[in-house]
Amino acid sequence: MIFVRTGPRFLFLRTPDTNRLKDVLVKELSGLPMDISEALETASESNTIVLITPDAVDSRVCNADHIVVLPIGSSVTLSKLINLNLGELLCSSELGAGLLVQRLPQNNTDVIEAIKKDYRARALALIQAINEGGADDTIVIFTGSPLQKTVEVEKVIEPCLLVNQPIPQMYTELRREAVRYFTQSLENSEWYEVRINIYDADEQYEIHARRLELVLEDLESGLILGELWTRDHALALFSVAAYQIRLFTMIEPLEFKTLLMGMEYNEEGDRFVDMDLYHRRSKIDWGSIAKKSPFGRKKSGHHYRKQLYSRLGHNTVKKLLELEKQLETE
Mean pLDDT of the chain: 89
Mean pLDDT of 218-233: 85
Mean pLDDT of 55-69: 92
Query: In the predicted model, is pLDDT for residue 85 greater than 70?
Result: yes
| Consecutive H or E run containing 310 | helix 297-311
Mean pLDDT of 39-59: 92
Shared domain for 171 and 201, answered yes or no, is no
CA angle 259, 321, 210 (to 5 degrees): 60
Domain end residue (candidates: 141, 166, 184): 184
Domain end residue (candidates: 184, 203, 235): 184
Residue 301 is predicted with a pLDDT of 84
Shared domain for 32 and 168, answered yes or no, is yes
CATH label of the domain that carries residue 256: 3.30.70
Shared domain for 111 and 174, answered yes or no, is yes
Shared domain for 212 and 136, answered yes or no, is no
Residue 25 is predicted with a pLDDT of 96
Higher pLDDT, 33 or 268: 33
How many domains would you assign to the chain? 2
| CA 5, chain centre distance (Å) | 9
Q: pLDDT tens digits for 168-217?
A: 999 999 999 988 888 877 766 678 999 999 998 888 999 999 999 999 99
Query: In the predicted model, is pLDDT for residue 16 greater than 70?
Result: yes
Radius of gyration of the chain (CA): 25
Shared domain for 159 and 216, answered yes or no, is no
Burial of 213 (0-12, 13-18, 19+ CB in 10 A): middle
Share of the chain above pLDDT 70, in %: 93
Residue 233 is predicted with a pLDDT of 62
Burial of 260 (0-12, 13-18, 19+ CB in 10 A): buried
Going by pLDDT thresholds of 50, 70 and 90, the confidence category of residue 310 is very high
DSSP state letter for 245: E
Residue 250 is predicted with a pLDDT of 85
Q: pLDDT tens digits for 276-285?
A: 999 988 898 8
Residue 29 is predicted with a pLDDT of 96
Mean pLDDT of 6-10: 95
Q: Which amino acid would we find at residue 207?
A: I
Query: In the predicted model, is pLDDT for residue 19 greater than 90?
Result: yes
Query: In the predicted model, is pLDDT for residue 221 greater than 80?
Result: yes
Residue 150 is predicted with a pLDDT of 78
Domain end residue (candidates: 184, 212, 239): 184
CA distance 12 to 124: 20
Residue 56 is predicted with a pLDDT of 82
Q: Which residues contact 223 (CB under 8 A, 6 or more apart)?
A: 1, 191, 247, 248, 249
Residue 73 is predicted with a pLDDT of 94
Shared domain for 38 and 138, answered yes or no, is yes
DSSP state letter for 262: H
The 3-class SS string of 268-289 reads CCCECCEEEEEECCEEECHHHH
Residue 232 is predicted with a pLDDT of 72
Q: pLDDT tens digits for 105-153?
A: 766 778 899 899 999 999 999 999 999 999 999 999 998 888 887 778 8
Mean pLDDT of 224-242: 75
Shared domain for 196 and 310, answered yes or no, is yes
Shared domain for 36 and 104, answered yes or no, is yes
Residue 186 is predicted with a pLDDT of 75
Shared domain for 180 and 214, answered yes or no, is no
Shared domain for 165 and 205, answered yes or no, is no
Shared domain for 38 and 176, answered yes or no, is yes
DSSP reduced 3-state for 185: coil
Which pairing describes strands 4-6 and 98-103: parallel, antiparallel, or unpaired? antiparallel
Structural domain boundaries, residue 266: 192-329
Going by pLDDT thresholds of 50, 70 and 90, the confidence category of residue 230 is confident
Shared domain for 97 and 203, answered yes or no, is no
